[in-house]
Amino acid sequence: MYKVDRWPPPDWTEIIILWDEVLSYPNYPIRDIIAWIDETPGGQYHLHGHNSTDGFAFRFERPEDATYFKLKWL
């Protein structure tokens, strides 16, 4: 997928991973997740902090990319 830095449109699908989920067992290895997204075919995505400090907000242009992400990591 291709990461965009500009703020995405509001209709992109958002998936949030909280710091509690990253740091507690079974954890979500955030660096591995980001590397996986960068190497996975698909559309565009945006990554931003959720409420600045709560965790990570992944936003996907294509809903099917968000579904694939959820099936793989959540």
The residue count of the chain comes to: 74
Residue 65's SS3 state is helix
CA distance 62 to 67: 9
* In the chain, where the domains are located: 2-73
- Identify the H or E element spanning 44: strand 44-50
- Can you give the pTM of this predicted structure? 0.88
Q: Is 7 helix (H, G, I), strand (E, B) or coil?
A: coil
pLDDT of 29 higher than 70 = yes
Asked if the model's pLDDT at residue 23 lies above 70, the reply is: yes
pLDDT value of position 45 = 97
